Amino acid sequence: NAGVTQTPKFRVLKTGQSMTLLCAQDMNHEYMYWYRQDPGMGLRLIHYSVGEGTTAKGEVPDGYNVSRLKKQNFLLGLESAAPSQTSVYFCASRHRGQFATNEKLFFGSGTQLSVL
Amino acid sequence: AQSVTQLDSHVSVSEGTPVLLRCNYSSSYSPSLFWYVQHPNKGLQLLLKYTSAATLVKGINGFEAEFKKSETSFHLTKPSAHMSDAAEYFCVVSDTSGTYKYIFGTGTRLKVLA
């Protein structure tokens, strides 16, 4: 059981380049999330999905697009990267469980992105 | 809309003394509240969760948190700090309206002094 897998783990881009971050989960979770983590700002929600074929904006969606064509995959795209998008990106999926006490987020190991 | 405010960006305690990390929340709906911990260069781990079953919630590694609706607070405590508790701690709120957006606070970095 791999859990939540993010690829790539590291990436360096030049301003204006594009890239896609892939998040894959093998736990059959409906809800998936993309966050960015910056020093002193915690994790900020970029976009999220409540199921296959759905996406919604989070707190900081500008400059990013997402797609959820398959239930197990949630893609985060940067069409034209900017230095302000230098960050650590985390993907997460929500485990609902039979009881409310079992609810928790499973996180990937993160992608460190630098935009020069 | 929901939000959380972590009142201290950094907290330093001596090993063996109590830990208090403060969190206030705002939510339009009955909230679910969590504390997550992130050790240096590690992933995020769930410490505990408030589900409305009990206002005092016990988590892993001796941590606990008390939900106080009148004060809109969910402070994290531990009676005796250990060196291994040094990490960044995040308070998280999620509404129960069905969108299940998880909103993180800005984090509190806990330093434990020998």
- Report residue A1's pLDDT band, with 50, 70 and 90 as the boundaries: low
pLDDT score, position A15: 97
DSSP code at position A101? G
Residue A96 pLDDT level (bands cut at 50, 70, 90): confident
Mutate to test the interface with B, among A44, A101, A102 (most CBs of B within 10 A): A101
Answer for the pair A44, A36: CB distance below 8 angstroms, yes or no.
Answer: yes
Distance from CA of B91 to the nearest CA of A (A): 10
pLDDT of res. A73: 97
Buried b (16+ CB within 10 A) or exposed e, A80-97: ebeeebbbebbbbbbbee
How far, in Å, are A41, A111, B83 from residue A99 at the CA level? 31, 31, 33
Pairs across A and B, CB distance < 8 A = 53
pLDDT value for A46? 97
Position A85 confidence tier, pLDDT thresholds 50, 70, 90 = very high
Q: What is the pLDDT of residue B96?
A: 66
pLDDT value at position B28?
Answer: 75
Asked if A45 contacts A58 with a C-beta cutoff of 8 angstroms, the reply is yes
Say if residue A8 is preceded by a cis peptide, omega within 30 of 0. yes
| Mean pLDDT computed over B16-39 | 92
| Mean pLDDT over the full length of chain B | 92
pLDDT value of residue A2: 72
**pLDDT, mean of residues A6-23:** 96
A63 close to A47: Cβ distance less than 8 angstroms = no
User: Which of B46, B53, B106 has its CB closest to that of A41?
Assistant: B106
Facing B43 at nearest CB: one of A40, A58, A109 = A109
Which chain A residues are within 8 Å of B52, Cβ to Cβ?
Answer: 100
